[in-house]
Chain A
Amino acid sequence: MTVTATSPPKTDERLANVGLVQILLRRPEIGALLGASVVWIFFAFIAPTNWLSINGVARILDPSSTLGIMAVAVALLMIGGEFDLSAGVMTGTTGLITGLLAVKLGMNIWPAMFISLLFALLVGYLNGLMVIKTGLPSFIVTLATFFILRGANVGVTRLVTNQVRVAGIDEAPGFYTARMIFNTEFTFLGAEFRTTILWWIAITVLATWVLQRTPWGSWIFAAGGDPNAARNVGVPANRVKIALFMTTASAAWLVGMMNDLRLRSAVASQGIGQEFVYIIAAVIGGCLLTGGYGSAIGASIGALIFGMARVGIVFAGWDTDWFFSFLGIMLLAAVLVNDYTRKQAEALAVARAKARTESEEAEP
């Protein structure tokens, strides 16, 4: 550092001049991108007619979109160093709350949706608060929330409807307006796409902007990387973490609403088991389980791989028996590529910095 201070025209070694390839290799989403390309090319060979049609693209994006919305929110939280195992079941809880309010109280869909949003925000806030106050791993705290919500989903639904589902949400006033905004089909290039895809893209862009271009983004990385160090330099790590928990809860609310509006009904088991799928998508997308590293675009690509696998297996005419094995292999491959490229990029950067400092030390 003293070297750079005394010789201003020389470049700062912290701002090393890196090539395009290296910039690409350093991106956390590179593994997911490679994985997605491999899967895409693979199915393009196996089932070209449907896979390469615009209809095929619409099919792939349908399951990817709601999963992608969750994966992005979960990725932000994971970069911030925490997990939310209640994210999956929360899609069911919010869906049931809205459904019960609309069907049993005859409420307009909008206030019903608003009330379930408030509930989601409250649960997200409590998750965050408990993690901060107790210092317990969020894995355990949100696992507890997961069980509480899972039980309440069945208990309350059965108590109110004497069944384990809420049907007939489409009779609520405002249903079709809400449906048009959150989850309807629109024709684009001759195929029917879902509006959930637009939400997904918007949320990915927003999350990427927050991560890369706002102080909140730096705080999230800092809070996940080393919360103590972050606090010492003035990052409001606690506030950031609570906000992140509230973000995953609101994303779950959004997906819960999208399910309600598409399916006209809500089932008490909705979303159970999905929490791990979100985490897997985020990890395929380059998030580290230890926090402090990852990307929103990567998580979206991770979700896209899921969507491609789901649709590709059908188009190829294989047994869907193999879906989970396929996911397992994808996860393993993506994580290996991530690990490899990251180490490669780090090694290159270290070697360059070393070479530079050595040559600079030799000069005077």
Chain B
Amino acid sequence: MLRTTRLTLVFVILGIVALVFAACAPAGQAPAQEAGAPAPEEAAPAEEAPAEQVAQTGLVFGLAVHDNPAESLFWGVVEKGARDAAETYGIELKSGGSLDPAEQAQLVETYIADGVDGLIVSLANPDALQDSVTKAVDAGIPVVTINSGVNVYKELGAITHVGQTEFVAGQGAGERFNAAGASKVMCVIHEEGNIGLEERCAGLEDTFQGEVVRFNVATTGTRDVAGTSASIQDKLIADSGIDGVLSLNPVIAMAALDAVQAAGGNQMLATFDLSPDVLDAIEAGDILFAIDQQQYLQGYLPVVFLYLYNTNLNTVGGGQPVLTGPGFVDASNAAQVKELAARGTR
């Protein structure tokens, strides 16, 4: 008796696996995936169509970024932008990502095998994705690169790049720190292997008139925010000459804010990218400014561009990248941006 019960238990668990994942599949997507490639006659049944009755194009786009969008504040907004555009235009969007370049490359190749009609790829590590992106281009799949990769997207055959020029954004930060009268700024690097972050610090070094020190917190990064905060605090205590801190991520900005306040609060703090917390801190005067690359656009625009390419063979940008930043958010406009950030679009 006991044995049969346990066997039943095992099968019940396996059954739950099936049910959970059947339930996770968003309604209305299943028929299109089974078709693999766009097939009008297999369009989603009427009762599963979105409430707004958007005409489904049958197009499928794949988004592959260099972090898991589900676990990242920044990439969550990019993904939301892409999803909103996909919904508006009646496109099926597949999205995912990984900090491991090999996994990101594999994801791109899985999308190719899946027969997507367009690819959106962030190129934080261009060498690693070179082969996969070339493969997509050779297979006739239009590629839009986003975020990092502005220097290489043309070579790889992407139709355009949507992002912010990191170096230029870093230069902008340097000028703002000059205006604020800082003399020694610490540039906090929180990810291993992302050249975009290094370029931001290089841009800062380029325009900032004082001294710039780079500080690596990648061992804790955004995974262990408390640890990152503690490291920054230790650094501020150890080097009392630092009077400005530039973080390169909103989560790190809040960690840096805690550290600055714990260390006495004498340092000016600025950050790349927004979050509701960062906006509150700007309103409260704790953070001087934030450089906004408006990443919602980095999800939204590529979907639109790929839609236009698929339906009308349009390319955007005239051979130049489409810049989404840098925009600056400071005490003057924080309140308005805050309302939008609460919706997850800034």
- Seen from chain A, the residues whose Cβ lies within 8 Å of a Cβ on chain B are 38, 42, 46-50, 53, 55-56, 58-59, 62-63, 66, 150-151, 154, 158, 163-165, 167-170, 259, 262-265, 267-270, 274, 310-311, 313-323, 325-326, 329-330, 332-333, 336-337, 340, 344
The answer to whether B219 touches A317, judged by C-beta atoms less than 8 angstroms apart, is no
Decide if A329 touches B17 in the complex (CB within 8 Å): yes
A318–B25 CB distance below 8 A? yes
Contact among A50, A62, A315 with B106 in the assembled complex (CB-CB below 8 Å): A62
B24 touches A322 (CB 8 A): yes
* Further pairs besides A42-B18, A151-B219, A314-B94: 14, Cβ < 8 Å: A49-B36, A50-B33, A53-B113, A59-B113, A154-B192, A164-B193, A165-B192, A167-B127, A263-B125, A265-B128, A268-B193, A314-B96, A319-B96, A323-B96
Which positions 247-296 of chain B face chain A at CB distance < 8 Å?
none
Partner of B94 from the list A165, A310, A317, A332 (CB cut-off 8 Å) is A317
CA distance A241 to B114 in the complex (A): 44
* A267 interface neighbour in B10, B68, B125, Cβ under 8 Å: B125
* Cα of A158 to Cα of B195 in the assembled complex, Å: 12
A340 touches B10 (CB 8 A): yes
Complex contact A154–B130 (CB within 8 A): no
The 6 closest A-B pairs by CB, nearest first: A267-B193, A320-B96, A321-B70, A265-B127, A263-B128, A269-B192
Asked if A164 and B94 make an inter-chain contact with CB atoms under 8 angstroms apart, the answer reads no
Chain B positions near chain A (C-beta within 8 angstroms): 3, 6-7, 9-10, 13-14, 16-18, 20-22, 24-26, 29-30, 32-36, 62, 68-70, 92, 94-97, 99-103, 105-107, 109-111, 113-115, 125-128, 130-131, 189, 191-195, 198, 216, 218-219
A159 to B106, CA, bound (A): 30
Chain A residues contacting B110 (CB-CB under 8 Å) are 59, 310-311, 314-315
Give CA–CA (A42, B32) in the complex, Å: 17
- Determine the distance from Cα of A263 to Cα of B105 in the docked complex, in whole angstroms: 9
Cα distance A323–B103 when bound, in Å?
A: 13
User: Total A-B residue pairs with C-beta atoms closer than 8 Å?
Assistant: 169
The residue on B at minimum CB distance from A336 is B10
CA distance A259 to B100 in the complex (A): 11
CB <8 Å contact, B105 and A262: yes
Q: Are A165 and B21 in contact (CB under 8 A)?
A: no
Chain B min CB distance to A315 (Å) = 6
Please give, as numbers and ranges, the residues of chain A lying within 8 Å of B30 by CB-CB distance: 46, 316-317
CA of A151 to CA of B9, assembled, Å: 45
Among the interface residues A53, A269, A313, which one has the most CB atoms of the partner chain B within 10 A?
Answer: A269
Distance in angstroms between the alpha carbons of A259 and B104 in the assembled complex: 12
Contact (Cβ within 8 A) A263 B21: no
- Say whether A336 contacts B18, CB under 8 Å: no
User: Shortest beta-carbon distance, B282 to chain A, in Å?
Assistant: 29
- Measured in the bound complex, the distance between the Cα atoms of B2 and A340 in whole Å is 11
Q: Are B17 and A319 in contact (CB under 8 A)?
A: no
